[in-house]
Structure 1
């Protein structure tokens, strides 16, 4: 039997439910906490639990989740559920827009040299030029501000992915 909607979370065995959540954000503590809260009355309750469990994520949790995120503009490879999410989210970056793709690559390299990890932004609904503008703006942040923004973006991404998976 293939579970859909909220049943994917509520009725799946623990391993499958954890895997579903880890495809949204590779943070095991977060996934386990949400699974322990089952069953949820509705999708809104599940998403509220996901938001609450992500406040706060530790530096190590954010780092682990970042390690699973591809660079924006480089294309996403692999068949895992998180790769599928990333491909869809980054669809606003047009690979035919060579100028934007080149600038994203250059700014991604600057960002990684400055902050030590990939640039993370909720890319869903944003165009390549919008993502590039945000990246260029965030290059001016101090490390503490950027860590806070990355954690916020990661929470948004995780909840949006879970909402899509439960729809």
Structure 2
């Protein structure tokens, strides 16, 4: 936590924006430094994500992309995923996001396709809530990864 708490404002902004491309979220997380421990940082990051407006989320979604498929994925799967994603974007007007933390590489394709197909049945308001939750989960996972990358030995997730 020391590295996070003492990082320059510019470095911290870059780190936070790499987790979620929302200046409002990054600003909220940064302004509450110093954090006494990882749990308080993650709680603040979650709270800041819950407080984002749909406009903030659309801004963050603009830089998101589908998660990469394992390198040995067959071409028909790429075609199926592209078609499902196009249907999703046509219905909801934004990229499909999903947090795949903890999903085995061999299960990624099935999980993505299953989620897109399932979420295509959501009404727009319901999908907004699901999308916001997936972005929050992505930001949290990326923040943990960024902290590990900074040499934070306190993180053992």
CA drift of 1:95 comes to: 4.8
Q: What's the RMSD between the two structures over aligned residues? A: 1.5
Distance 1:123 1:64 in 2: 21
Number of equivalent positions: 144
Match of 1:133 in 2: 114
Q: 2:99 is matched with which residue: 105, 115, 122?
A: 122
SS in 2 for 1:107: helix
Question: Alpha-carbon deviations, 1:89-141, whole Å to 9, x = none?
Answer: x3x54453222211110000001111101111113333111111111111111
Match of 2:89 in 1: 112
TM-score, normalised with respect to structure 1: 0.80
Q: 2:131 is matched with which residue: 150, 157, 163?
A: 150
Q: Is the 8 A contact 1:8 1:17 kept in 2?
A: no
After TM superposition, the structure 1 = structure 2 runs for residues 82-93 of structure 1, keeping only pairs within 5 Å, are 90=68, 93=70
After TM superposition, the structure 1 = structure 2 runs for residues 13-162 of structure 1, keeping only pairs within 5 Å, are 13-72=8-67, 90=68, 93-126=70-103, 127-162=108-143
Distance 1:46 1:120 in 2: 23
Q: Is the 8 A contact 1:43 1:166 kept in 2?
A: no
Distance 1:108 1:60 in 2: 21
